[in-house]
Structure formats: C-alpha cells, structure tokens
C-alpha cells in the first residue's frame, strides 16, 4: 500500500449512492467486465489525494488504498436497504468468479 495516491471517484449511473474509487488515469476497460456491467456508465465525482489516515464518509483511506493496491478499485456501496446491497454483491460475484 502506498503512503498516498491520487484517486478519482466516480458515481454509478445505475446504482444510487454507489461509488468507485480508482487510481487517477485508470482505464475503464481494464476493470473487470462484471463490475463495469453492473456499475454502468461512470460519472466523475471528484479527484483527491488519498492517505491511509484520511477518513471518508463510509470507509477509511487505508481500506480504499489497500483495495486499489490489490484489485485496482474500491467499490463503495450504499448502506444496506432491504437486501439491495446483498443482491448487488451476489450479482457482481456471479459475473466475476
């Protein structure tokens, strides 16, 4: 995990309150096809310099940086509402074995 990274944040065009964090300059086509299909067209929200100690709305900079280091993205889901998140995760797992 890097000490800091320049990160771009995108909102989903298909799923309300769903955000994708990636390294700035990450090519959309290089992310898993299953993620791209479920996430929909990315809508740029912001760019930021992220450090492990930075606190975000639903996670920490450390968790985001670790995920980006391991799989090139961090997917922030909305708080669970009547099985919505469970269904979204199940569909993502089915498309990305």
Please enumerate in sequence order all residues whose Cβ is within 8 A of that of 24, keeping only pairs 6 or more positions apart, or say none.
Answer: 6, 7, 8, 47
Domain ranges in the chain are 5-95
Regarding the domain delimited by 5-95, which CATH topology (the fold level of the hierarchy) does it fall under?
NE1680-like fold (3.10.510)
pTM over 0.85: no
Average per-residue pLDDT for the chain:
88
Question: Distance (Å, rounded) from C-alpha 41 to C-alpha 1?
Answer: 28
Q: What is the pLDDT of residues 23-69, one digit of tens each?
A: 999 999 999 999 999 999 999 999 999 999 999 988 999 999 999 99
Question: Distance (Å, rounded) from C-alpha 69 to C-alpha 63?
Answer: 10
**8 A C-beta contact, residue 62 and residue 1:** yes
């Amino acid at each position: 995990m890097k000490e800091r990274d320049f990160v771009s944040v995108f909102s989903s065009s298909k799923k309300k309150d769903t955000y994708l964090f990636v390294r700035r300059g990450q090519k959309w086509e290089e992310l898993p096809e299953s993620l791209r299909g479920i996430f929909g067209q990315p809508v740029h929200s912001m760019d930021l310099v992220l450090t492990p100690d930075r606190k975000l709305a639903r996670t920490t900079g450390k968790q985001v940086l670790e995920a980006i280091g391991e799989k090139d993205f961090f997917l922030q889901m909305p708080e669970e509402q009547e099985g919505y998140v469970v269904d979204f995760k199940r569909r993502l797992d089915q498309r990305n074995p």
